[in-house]
Each structure stands twice: as C-alpha cells, then as structure tokens.
Structure 1
Amino acid sequence: MLLLIAKRLAAVVVILLALTAVLFLLQHISPADPVKTMLGPGSSQELVAQTRRELGLDDPISVQYVHYVGHLLHGDLGTSYRTRRPVGTDLATFLPATLELTLFALVLALVLAIALAVATTLNWPGAGVFRLVLLVGAAMPAFLLAIGGIILFYKQLGWLPATGRTDILDAPAGPTGLLTVDSILHARPDVFVDALRHLLLPGLAIAIGPAVSIGRVLRSSLVTTQRTDYTRTARAKGLTEVQVMRRHVLRNSVGPALSMTGLQVGLMFAGVLVVELIFAWPGLGQYTAQSIPVGDYPAIAGVMLLLGGAYVVINTVVDLLQAAADPRIEA
C-alpha cells in the first residue's frame, strides 16, 4: 500500500508539472499582450518595454518557466489584470461558492447513482420510472437542464429560487465560506434551509448526468457480483436480498464505480462553470467568464490550474480508495 501511495504521489507531481507547462505555453502563444492588457491600450511604448523588463518577460522562455513554477510553489499565481488583486486572493473569495455547489452536486450524484443501481438490481417498485427519468435527464446537457429547471420549478411552480446563493441579507459570511456549514455553526436554520433551496436546482443540473454514468457502472458490477459463489452461499444461509446486498455485494462492487466517479468529476467541473453563469452563482464560473473578455490570463490560468489540480488529486484519492476496498490492487 505504501508503494502504491508513493507511485500515485509521484504521478501527481509529474502531471501537475505538465499542466503548468501547458498553461505557461498557452500564455506565450496567445496573441494578447499581457503587458498592454495590464497597462491599458493608451500606454506608451517606453512604458510597455520597461514593464516587460520588470516582469522578466524579456528573459529566455526556459528562465521564465522556472520563475513561473517557483512563484507557484510559493503560492503566487500572479496579479489579475481586471481586479488588480492577487489571483490567489480572488480564488479564495470565489472558491467557497463553487466548492459548496460541487460538493453538493457530487453527493447528490452519488445518492442518485446508488439509488438507481440498487433499485434496478433488486427490481423495486417504481424503479423503471426512476430509471427513465434519470436517463431522459442525462440525455440533456447541463445548461439545458438548468434552463428547464428554472422554467419549471421557478417560473411555473414557484417552488425554488433561480439565482444566487441565498435571499437572506444577514447570512453569515464565515468562517468557512460554505453557507450550509456556516449556518450550522451560527445556529441559523433559516439560512441553512434557504441555502439548500438555492443549491437544489443547480446541483441537480450538474448531478444527473454523472449519476446515470456512475449508476450504470455500479449496477453492472452489482449484477456480476450477485452471481458469484459467495453470494449464492449467503442466500443459502437464509439472508434476505437486502442483507446480501449490504453485507456481501456492495463493497465488492464499488471499484468500477469509484473509477467512473473519478472520471465524472472532470465533467462536473465543466458543468459547474457553465451552470454558475445561468444561476448567477458567485463562484469561479462567474470569475472566469468576467476574465475571458478582457484577456485576464493570470486569472484564467489560476482557475484552470486549481481545477486541474483538484481533478488530479481526486483521481489519486479514488485510486487509493479502490486499493483500500480491494487489497488485490497493488499498482
């Protein structure tokens, strides 16, 4: 197990270095001049040249990359051309909203996936209808689900809000930045309920697609495991199907589902950035959308590096969880 952890950590370092190299090269092949973007279109050539020297942009590209990685290791992601603040500060401001939405959508996707897999495997009443609804939802892109959800649940039924994180003006702003957590820490059940209501529509729009993908893989694994000899032995001992599922089948079936979950996380990140724009969610999606038109490359690169790093780390954790669930995995 220790050897596996060492291999995965080494792979994480290599992948992150490759990611930084790609982002660095994209910045240099971009037609936009970062200095002119920073100083404005009316700046003089002398000021532009002086600023380029001060920023080290006249150095050889290899030297610039070493400096770039060195700054990253010290937590320096550069300064946003648009906000004039350190990108790290901006990310710390916008990240909690995106993190809360992503975690909520991930939990929702896992719950729906398990429900889909177990219900269809055990042929529970209504499982066919539940499966059909999820399949129809998964056939639509996240942005279309988001728009449809707003039309149905906000415009027509008036059940759920359509924009923002909360309607409560004095909602707690800390210490975690996650409204659901902060509302519990401040004993504010009204804020907690309101935050959940705002999370439901965007969370469902993001979660349904991954839920079906994970659920299908889990169901296939469950069906295969149910046909094994030790499962038949458990039934012969008089255990009910639910007991067999809980004690013998689920743990031995989660490996493929965990792999699919890791793959779906990347799609969820992409869905989050799009869905945030539709729901006016004050997270990284809004920050990125505001940065792209003005060529704010440090901000864009900071978001991409953060999400790419998170994706790599999550898949590494998934690999380790698979090894914990199945000791036969050694590499």
Structure 2
Amino acid sequence: MTADLQLHAGDAPPSLLTLMELVSDDMELVNDVLLERMQSDVPMIPQLADHLVSSGGKRMRPMLTLACAAVLNYRGRKHCDLAAAVEFIHTATLLHDDVVDGSDLRRGRQTANIIWGNSASVLVGDFLFARAFELMVEVGSLRALHILSRASAVIAEGEVSQLSAQHQIETSEEQYLAIINGKTAELFAAASKIAAVVAERTDDSEERLDSFGRNLGMAFQLIDDAIDYVSDEETMGKGVGDDFRDGKITLPVILAYARGNAEERQFWQDAMTGKRISDADLDHAKALLHKYDAVTDTMARARDYGQKAIEALAPFPETPAKAALSEAVAFAVSRAY
C-alpha cells in the first residue's frame, strides 16, 4: 500500500520527533564527531563553527543518512561518520550563503558573518568542507566519496545559478526548479543515497533513496519559498520577506508574475530589482501572491514532491525507520518555518 501525505489527518500533526528519537543514539555519535573535528589551534575556528552547529537546526540531512541506514538494517558506524560529513557540508554552505546574501539572522541568532565578519565566515566554511572530505576519505568508500564530492560541486553550481538569476524576473519555472534541485535537493539526495553505499545494497536501493531524498529536498525548499511570505520572524528565526528584499526569484514570485496584468508585472520587475522593497511594497507583494494563489500553488507543488518521496520508499519493508521517514516528509510539507 502506498503511504499518503494525509496519513496524519485528524491525528496529531506530523513532527520530526519520531525521526529524532529513532536516530538519537547515532546522533550522539555524530555530534561527538562534529565536536571533535571542529577543534583547531586557531581559536576563532571552533568558536565560529560551534555558533552555527549548536544553533538549534533540525539536522534533517544527517538524520536522513542515519534513518536510511536503519531502513536498510545496516549495522556499523560508518554511516555516523558520513552523516557528520553531510552536516559539515551543509554548515559550510550556510556560512557561505549568509555572506553572499548579507544575512543578519539565522535560526533567531545573529549570523556568523555579522559577529566575526565575512572573511572569517568564508574561511571557516572552507575549513568545514575540508573536515567533511577528511571524514569521507577515512570511511574508505570511493563510491560515497564520489557521491558527496559531486553533491558539493552541484550545490555550488546551484548557488551560482541562483545568484545569476537574482533580480531576473523572467526566470522560468523550469529554470528555478533546476536551481533548487542543485542548491538544496542534491544534498538531501546524497545524504539519503550514501546509506545504501555503506550498507552495500543494490543500485536499485541507491536510486530509490536518491529519489526519496531529492523529492523531499525539493518539497523542503518550495515550502521555504512559500513561508518567506506567510510566516513571521519569530517562527522562522530570520527576517520576514528576506527573499523579497534580496530580489530572489522564487516560485511564488514566478507564478504571480506569470499570472499578473501589465501593471502588476511592472511592480514585480521594480521589486525584484530593488526599486520597491518597503514594508508597504512587501504587503502589496503578499496581496498579489494571495490574489493569484501563488503561495497556495507553491505549497501544492511541495506536496506533490513529498508524495513522490514517500512513494520512493514503498518497496522497502515496513519498519519504524520507514514510518519515521514518511512522517518527516509530512512534517516538511506542513511546517510553518
């Protein structure tokens, strides 16, 4: 039977708690690895790294590695080292992203670039990338090294593509989906897929876990796109409307622009090029998004990707790990932050 994203309807809302409890013992090992590998004789490195690593993130990506390994009934600890590598890659990209975006808040705290400066953030991000590659090499799997090193390159390409598309209101839906497939979904896919490598399972398992992670990552990013316009700073832990003021072309904007009249399209052109970014302009943008169901339709697209993620798990045995991953998908498409 194919699981359904509505499986929690009428019950308690989906959460990450089930997944977190499932992998709690392994996550302790992962956290030990992270703490050990953040150390350096240069004091600023562990200070800055700890600021972000300990800032309350959901740790979704390393948990995917651990839970997918549980789905495959893997016994060992290589998945913990790879999960730590995944988290280091993710943390490094966050440090670099905040510099590129000029962000001042992440998860409700000042960003590292605001506290220590852009140069330190970039260089510590590089340090964490290096630590990630050390862990990959130590695991001793060329296949895992290939998957995660390729993912790192694809993420960088996705970020550069997004930077190139910034302020470009004519960006198509197809182009945007390709961007988020690179900058977000690729690491979700790699984090899931490497579990099949350490478990020495078939290529079919690799492909299914890749599909699971990739579709979950797409859903996760689309929800991020949507809630930037409908949530609040306290809930999100970052500024409301940051994407709008940064001129980031996200799916809600693409849909509203495509559906708008000439005057409304001109507004979006002005807004995305930095000419209309006041609070009143943000309110007008929200009104246009509501008028054309742009946020609603973005969330619907996210649910479609979420359903594909759940379907990718269908051939695996019914286990607590599989159920926890399915609930994590439901959480990802229903969250408000």
Category of TM-score, reference length = shorter chain: 0.3 to 0.5
Q: What's the TM-score once normalised by structure 2's chain length?
A: 0.33
Higher-Rg member (1/2):
1
Please, what TM-score do these two structures have when normalized by structure 1? 0.33
